[in-house]
Amino acid sequence: MSAKQKIAIGADHAGFAYKELLRDFLKDFQVQDFGAYNAGSVDYPDFAHPVASAVESGEFPFGILICGSANGIAIAANKHQGIRAAICWENEIASLVRQHNDANIICIPARFVSEELAKEMVMTFLNTAFEGGRHAARVAKISC
Query: Which residues are catalytically annotated?
Result: 67, 100
Q: If phi over 0 gives left and psi between -120 and 50 gives alpha, with beta otherwise, what is residue 82? A: left
Integer CA distances (angstroms), 130 to 27, 69, 100, 112, 115, in order: 24, 25, 6, 26, 25
Query: Is 84 within any annotated ligand binding site?
Result: no
Query: Is 49 within any annotated ligand binding site?
Result: no
Query: Is 72 within any annotated ligand binding site?
Result: yes
Query: Is 12 within any annotated ligand binding site?
Result: yes
Query: Is 69 within any annotated ligand binding site?
Result: yes
Query: Is 82 within any annotated ligand binding site?
Result: no
Going across the sheet that includes 62-67, the strands are 30-33, 6-11, 62-67, 105-109, 85-87
Binding region for D-ribulose 5-phosphate? 12-13, 68-72, 101, 111, 134, 138
Binding region? 12-13, 68-72, 101, 111, 134, 138
